[in-house]
A = this chain, B = another copy of it.
Amino acid sequence: MTTEAITAELVTRVQRAHTLGTVGELLGWDEQVNLPPGAAEQRAGQHAALAEVQHAAASDPRIGELLALLQARDALLTPDQRAIVAHARRDYDRATKLPADFVREKAGQGSRGYHAWARAKAADDFGGYAPVLEKNLELAKREAGYLGWSGREYDYMLDKHDPGLTTAATEKLFSELKRDLVPLVRAIVASPRAAQAREAAAKLRGFPVEAQRTFLREVTAALGFDYARGRIDVSLHPFCSGTGSDVRMTTRFNVDQPLDALFSSIHETGHGLYEQGLPVAQLGTALGIHAGMAMHESQSRLWENQVARSRAFWRHFEPRWRELFPVQTAGVNSEELYLAVNAVEPTLIRVDADEVTYNLHIVLRFELEQKLFTGELAVRDLPAAWGAASRELVGLEPATDREGVLQDVHWSDGSFGYFPSYCLGNMIAAQLWACVQRERPEVEEDFARGDFAWLLGWLRGNIHTQGRRFSALELVQRITGEPLSPRHLVAYLRERYGALYLG
């Protein structure tokens, strides 16, 4: 068989498994958006049956044979072929190297862990949750071991979400960020404008859902989301699922917090544009899959923050906003709107945090989960460590574990190493944005005219169509000409929020 023929067969089999995976993803979307409340058990049966056939497809022994053939002639492969093989190998190892008993144990523990967390959070009882967390840590380390990451277990957790990412690289980035961001946040919070921003946001009340829907559809379509290849619906928690020609976002509406649905939809639009920009014919291979969660998050953050919180964006959309909500916006001037859009307020709760302070919540989690993996921190000491870190970083100390270590769902099913992607996404977005401003100084004038095509084209060419040929860090270096650094994020935050709060 020629290398081309082997690669073609590999791609066919890999894509078959991927296609079954997308069916599972659709089941998940449907569950959040459409499922009748009484159908949960029936849906669980569908998920289980599909997961089984998907796993069988992903662990097809023929994939292993084809990978071995291609890896034996590694020197002859083109860069694209090499990328395809590396990604397929990664998936194949994950599908085949974990013993079935372990997978079962982990799935059971994940489900029990979720319920234990929900109970512990409701009862503010960390003690009841601690054994679950200890078990989850143990399983995570065993998983890393099965896949050949013994001794580098936290590296494995990072790599799982962001191929190529290491603890050392993340630590360096986060410690630099922390050094510069903590004093900036302190200064902003102390500014008298912080209270004005909160007051401005509180003025936005009574925005009818239908008009909110109209506005956010117009906005997201203007940004470039293709509604012929995607849709937006309502769910309890906003998310984006699907890929290629069928990308489905969700949002949720609150008549008294109209910026929530709008900005969460723009955030999901960033994810959606990335998925719609992947080459459809290559879906499921390294050439048709995103470069990891940090890069994904950079796309959602760039559109949400750099673009949609800018003055230029609102110069274009404010008239339409006032037209749709004439009564509700009558007592709010343009500067108040801009302040509300860029309100900063420290909070104990990550998911309520603004663009500036959000990063510190992530640094906190990274520092703690990393220490959990090294053993430097014991699970039973987490609440105290959380309190101290929260005071140092966010400037607030939780009175209860419910507002502290029990607030997030992630660890309850063993999803360690995911948090850093959020903050790395912000860093990448800021560094890309600095590059965009160099390459097209008039980009904000585009926005003020409602023209986002240049920016989308730039992201398409540089990122979306690249698939997973490069890791996120490699891609950032290639595009911007320098390694990822938090200085762009700090500079961007200083420029936007400094001008607003400290000017």
Contacting residues, chain B, for A42 (C-beta < 8 A):
22, 244-246, 280
Q: Which chain A residues (1-54) contact chain B, with CB distance < 8 Å?
A: 16, 19-20, 22-23, 26-27, 30, 34-39, 41-43, 45-46, 49-50, 53
| Distance in Å: Cβ of A298 to nearest Cβ of chain B | 25
Contacting residues, chain B, for A20 (C-beta < 8 A):
49-50, 53
User: A327 an interface residue at 8 Å Cβ cutoff?
Assistant: no
Inter-chain CA distance A57–B50, complex, in Å, is: 11
| Distance in Å: Cβ of A20 to nearest Cβ of chain B | 5
Inter-chain CA distance A341–B384, complex, in Å, is: 72
Contacting residues, chain B, for A474 (C-beta < 8 A):
none
Contact B280 A34 (CB under 8 A): no
- Closest B residue by C-beta to A42: B245
Contact A50 B23 (CB under 8 A): yes
Q: Per-residue CB proximity of A264-298 to B under 8 Å, as 1/0?
A: 00000000000000001000000000000000000
| Distance in Å: Cβ of A251 to nearest Cβ of chain B | 16
- Closest B residue by C-beta to A19: B49
User: A227 an interface residue at 8 Å Cβ cutoff?
Assistant: yes
Contacting residues, chain B, for A226 (C-beta < 8 A):
38
Inter-chain CA distance A39–B246, complex, in Å, is: 5
Inter-chain CA distance A309–B94, complex, in Å, is: 60
Contact A231 B22 (CB under 8 A): no
Count of identical protomers in the assembly: 2
User: A208 an interface residue at 8 Å Cβ cutoff?
Assistant: no
Interface residues on A, range: 20 to 34
| Distance in Å: Cβ of A41 to nearest Cβ of chain B | 7
| Distance in Å: Cβ of A366 to nearest Cβ of chain B | 36
User: A110 an interface residue at 8 Å Cβ cutoff?
Assistant: no
Contacting residues, chain B, for A231 (C-beta < 8 A):
34, 36
- Closest B residue by C-beta to A41: B245
| Distance in Å: Cβ of A143 to nearest Cβ of chain B | 27
User: A236 an interface residue at 8 Å Cβ cutoff?
Assistant: no
Could you tell me which A residues sit within 8 Å of B by CB distance? 16, 19-20, 22-23, 26-27, 30, 34-39, 41-43, 45-46, 49-50, 53, 57, 226-231, 244-246, 280
What are 18 sample pairs from A and B whose C-beta atoms fall under 8 A apart?
A16-B49, A19-B46, A20-B50, A20-B53, A22-B46, A23-B23, A23-B46, A23-B49, A26-B27, A34-B231, A36-B227, A36-B231, A38-B226, A38-B246, A42-B244, A42-B245, A43-B246, A53-B57
Given contacts A16-B49, A36-B227, 13 further A-B contacts (CB under 8 A): A19-B49, A23-B23, A26-B30, A34-B231, A36-B230, A37-B228, A38-B226, A38-B245, A38-B246, A39-B244, A42-B245, A42-B246, A42-B280
